[in-house]
Amino acid sequence: MLAQLIALDWGTTSLRAYRLGPNAGVLDQRSLASGIMQLPKAPRVIAGQLCADGFELAFDEACGDWLDAQPGLPVIACGMVGSAQGWREAAYCDTPANVANLGTSLQTVRSLRGVDVHIVPGVIQRSRLPNVMRGEETQVLGVLQNLPAGAGDNLLIGLPGSHSKWVEVVEGCITHFDTFMTGELFAVLSEHSILGRTQQRGAAFDCAAFDRGVKVASSADGEIGPLSTLFSSRSLGLTGELSAKQQPDYLSGLLIGHELAALATVRRHHSAKLASIVLIGNAQLCTRYQRALAICGFPHVALAEQATERGLWQLAVAAGLIGKTAPVQPD
Amino acid sequence: MLAQLIALDWGTTSLRAYRLGPNAGVLDQRSLASGIMQLPKAPRVIAGQLCADGFELAFDEACGDWLDAQPGLPVIACGMVGSAQGWREAAYCDTPANVANLGTSLQTVRSLRGVDVHIVPGVIQRSRLPNVMRGEETQVLGVLQNLPAGAGDNLLIGLPGSHSKWVEVVEGCITHFDTFMTGELFAVLSEHSILGRTQQRGAAFDCAAFDRGVKVASSADGEIGPLSTLFSSRSLGLTGELSAKQQPDYLSGLLIGHELAALATVRRHHSAKLASIVLIGNAQLCTRYQRALAICGFPHVALAEQATERGLWQLAVAAGLIGKTAPVQPD
């Protein structure tokens, strides 16, 4: 089947490429380790020229053969590829941001083979403590398209990760979001702090240890905040109440629990009722957040699928790169 | 002048040795880098035997000549030297702990040269989230000795550091304490997280950037907690509101501010009035905490001096290693 769009989700450490048919149907997909911080280096001939540019090399690996087979195919990309360290910087769009204003703000870089790559800008919220996202805006738009009617009322979209984002959407617009450095903090504490020294990593997920961490963070014991409760991962080990194997998942639960407890606190300023949640992201991490959200009393949690490719599709339509209706298929 | 006690403050990364005369007067002092995690390795002859034991080597460097000159001198040591990774483990004493029960719980290790080293145990608080300290208990006891009468009412003793401790004392007893991993978190975030990548370190202390961080943490903007506000060190850089040079002190202020805001929150459960504070520790770090405490509204802050050597002296007296009254001096 002929494709209509090549969609790239190009982050810091990975590059996912999708060959999309009518209505964002995935015809083919690939995952490469060529994120913008680990681009390929070995020079190679591309479009008749010897090339050593990492972005060109990664782009060619990701979808060169798809473009050879179907040269006129439009290409759209989101994520850190549009950052100052990316292939071409796509300046942030301000909140409120929606499909229309993001779709008409794509930045273009012409690749060696003559194909334009259309890069989605990130979103900036110029609050007293500013917030930025790159890539997550596309996933959020991909989710919105598939929401049941009325689901947007008191809805929060959560994107767990190194830097988790929690996004409020009003009538299709990204109006407000917060960032939590939970995932990165877990990684640096486990690898570089005293807490890592007594951890035994690599065991299967210990849901009891994880839940215990969440409960500490969201209970009265957690009021003293994560800077203090963190130490309990060590001190409970010293008293024999937490084994080396349990410590990683306890710490993970503690940090995610503090993230959700803080989110609940600030959201309660806006609404007495806790929001309905849609989670986007890595399945294992979403499982952890689902458990933690249930413990913290969030009543409705759903998981989104194929958010990135659907978001990129929507933006390509808004940008006029493809028609809204499916063209007649040649075979 | 003849000494009465050798007092060692033997931590993870450093070893401070004091030769103390009557009433804890410091006759001599030394600072070595031979903490228990970086002991000397080169074998040497000690007391007629070739020795490769790091604790023996460090001990000999720290005070071998003092003991040669005055062989009967008692030796007392506090800090991580008494941990499971130390020279000899001195099991924690439970809270409430005071000079009397710590002084009668010293652990002894006999050194190669035949001198006993008396090691002060740490203190453990067996609360739901347990807390432990090693070395700080000695400093706290050293401060208590010198407090003006009545100062102990609603008093908090703060020991800023990698793992800051905040200690409540009632009638000479350590009754409750909390730990905050603020210093270590600052170090690992600066060295290993994305926040460090945009920091320019090594500049002079930027008090405006530091104060700004404290104010964010202790204001309504800080209610979302450190896992989220941390990201503002990066995002304010992206928007040009915080220079690379300002970022380290902003982050330092943010973390210390969250520590103090959390402390104020949990302390308010006990007492409507914020406590009077005595700080013990590194002068530069205490200056930061003094600034931050003032911003957070703590009314009375004093700095303690010579807390460790005074605490070790008190414990040596309680243990009967030296008499309470000064002996007649021979010259």
Q: Write the pLDDT tens digit of every residue in A210-257.
A: 999 999 999 999 999 999 999 999 999 999 999 999 999 999 999 999
Q: Which residue has the higher pLDDT, B323 or A252?
A: A252
Residue B158 sits at φ, ψ, to 5 deg, of: -105, 135
Structure tokens at A292: 């933690």
Instruction: Name the pLDDT band for B274 (thresholds 50, 70, 90).
Output: confident
CB contact under 8 A, B179 and A129: no
Identify the pLDDT of residue B324: 60
- Per-residue b/e over A275-286, b at no fewer than 16 CB within 10 Å? bbbbbbbeeebb
Identify the pLDDT of residue B152: 63
Q: Does residue A189 sit in helix, strand or coil?
A: helix
Q: What is the pLDDT of residues A54-109, one digit of tens each?
A: 999 999 999 999 999 999 999 999 999 999 999 999 999 999 999 999 999 999 99
CATH number, position B10: 3.30.420.300
Task: Give the count of beta carbons closer than 10 Å to the beta carbon of residue A72.
Answer: 6
Q: What is the pLDDT of residues B283-292, one digit of tens each?
A: 999 999 999 9
Please state, in angstroms and rounded to a whole number, the distance separating the CA atoms of residues A308 and A26.
11
Tell whether the model's pLDDT for residue B312 goes beyond 60: yes
Distance between alpha carbon A75 and the CA centroid of its chain, in Å?
Answer: 20
Q: What is the pLDDT of residues B41-50, one digit of tens each?
A: 999 999 999 9
Please state, in angstroms and rounded to a whole number, the distance separating the CA atoms of residues B110 and B173.
30
CB A95 within 8 A of CB A124: yes
Lowest-pLDDT choice from A220-229, A262-271, B2-11: A262-271
Identify the pLDDT of residue B150: 64
Is B97 in the same domain as B185?
Answer: no
The residue of B125, B129, B184, B252 whose CB has the most chain A CBs within 10 angstroms, and thus the best one to mutate to test that interface, is B129
Q: Where are the alpha helices (DSSP H) in B70-169?
A: 99-103, 136-144
Tell whether the model's pLDDT for residue A130 goes beyond 90: yes
Over chain A, what is the mean pLDDT?
93
Is A107 in the same domain as A211?
Answer: no
Identify the pLDDT of residue B326: 47
Say if A265 falls within a structural domain. yes
Q: How far is A316 from chain B (nearest CA, A)?
A: 27
Is B20 in the same domain as B103?
Answer: yes
Domain that holds residue A58: 5-127+312-318
Q: How far is A50 from chain B (nearest CA, A)?
A: 33
How large is the average pLDDT for residues A294-321? Answer: 94
CB A304 within 8 A of CB A138: no
CB B287 within 8 A of CB B251: no
> The dihedral of CA B155, B159, B164, B170: what is its sign?
negative
Question: How far is the first Cα of chain A from the last one, in angstroms, to the nearest whole number?
Answer: 7
How large is the average pLDDT for residues A183-189? Answer: 96
How large is the average pLDDT for residues B242-253? Answer: 98
Is B224 in the same domain as B282?
Answer: yes
Say if A152 falls within a structural domain. no
Is A106 in the same domain as A192?
Answer: no
Q: A212 exposed, middle or buried (CB, 10 Å; 0-12, 13-18, 19+)?
A: buried
CB contact under 8 A, A221 and B129: yes
Identify the pLDDT of residue B51: 97
Is A121 in the same domain as A182?
Answer: no
Q: Does residue A74 sit in helix, strand or coil?
A: coil
Q: Count up the domains in chain A and report the number.
A: 2
Instruction: Name the pLDDT band for B327 (thresholds 50, 70, 90).
Output: very low
Q: How much of chain B, in percent, has pLDDT values that exceed 70?
A: 95
Q: How far is A204 from chain B (nearest CA, A)?
A: 25
CATH number, position A291: 3.30.420.310
Tell whether the model's pLDDT for residue B323 goes beyond 90: no
Lowest-pLDDT choice from A140-144, A312-316, B113-117, B325-329: B325-329
CB contact under 8 A, A231 and B188: no
Is B15 in the same domain as B126?
Answer: yes
Say if A155 falls within a structural domain. no
CB A61 within 8 A of CB A102: no
Identify the pLDDT of residue A331: 44
Say if B88 falls within a structural domain. yes
Report the residue from B124, B129, B181 with minimal CB separation from A227: B181
Please state, in angstroms and rounded to a whole number, the distance separating the CA atoms of residues B77 and B16.
10
Say if A162 falls within a structural domain. no
Q: What is the pLDDT of residues A20-50, one digit of tens each?
A: 999 999 999 999 999 999 999 999 999 999 9
Identify the pLDDT of residue A147: 79
Is A93 in the same domain as A208?
Answer: no
Is B189 in the same domain as B298?
Answer: yes
Identify the pLDDT of residue A151: 67
Q: Which of B134, B166, B201 is the last residue of a domain?
A: B134
Q: How many contacts, defined by CB atoms under 8 Å, are there between A and B?
A: 134
Q: How far is B227 from chain A (nearest CA, A)?
A: 5
How large is the average pLDDT for residues A281-286? Answer: 94
- Residues from chain B contacting residue A126 (CB–CB below 8 Å): 239
Q: What is the pLDDT of residues A139-170, one digit of tens each?
A: 999 999 877 666 667 789 999 999 999 999 98
Lowest-pLDDT choice from A150-159, A303-312, B144-153, B229-238: B144-153
Is A219 in the same domain as A286?
Answer: yes
CB contact under 8 A, B193 and A185: yes
CB contact under 8 A, A228 and B163: no
Structure tokens at A228: 């203090």
Identify the pLDDT of residue A203: 87
> The dihedral of CA A187, A191, A195, A199: what is its sign?
positive
Say if A200 falls within a structural domain. yes
Is B188 in the same domain as B107?
Answer: no
Report the residue from B178, B189, B194 with minimal CB separation from A224: B178
Q: How far is B117 from chain A (nearest CA, A)?
A: 25
Give the E-state strand segments of chain B in sequence order.
Answer: 5-10, 15-20, 26-32, 44-46, 49-51, 75-78, 93-94, 107-110, 116-119, 123-125, 131-133, 155-159, 164-170, 173-180, 276-279, 301-303
CB contact under 8 A, A132 and B235: yes
Q: What is the pLDDT of residues B123-166, one digit of tens each?
A: 999 999 999 999 999 999 999 987 766 666 778 999 999 999 99
Say if B210 falls within a structural domain. yes
The residue of A136, A190, A231 whose CB has the most chain B CBs within 10 angstroms, and thus the best one to mutate to test that interface, is A231
- Residues from chain A contacting residue B224 (CB–CB below 8 Å): 178, 262-263, 265-266
Say if A75 falls within a structural domain. yes
Q: How much of chain A, in percent, has pLDDT values that exceed 70?
A: 95
Is B109 in the same domain as B10?
Answer: yes
Structure tokens at B291: 């600034």
At position A190, the amino acid (one-letter code) is S
Residue B49 sits at φ, ψ, to 5 deg, of: -120, 140
Q: Which residue has the higher pLDDT, B297 or B232?
A: B232
Selection from A145-149, A263-267, B32-36 with the highest mean pLDDT: B32-36
| The total number of residues written for chain A in this structure | 331
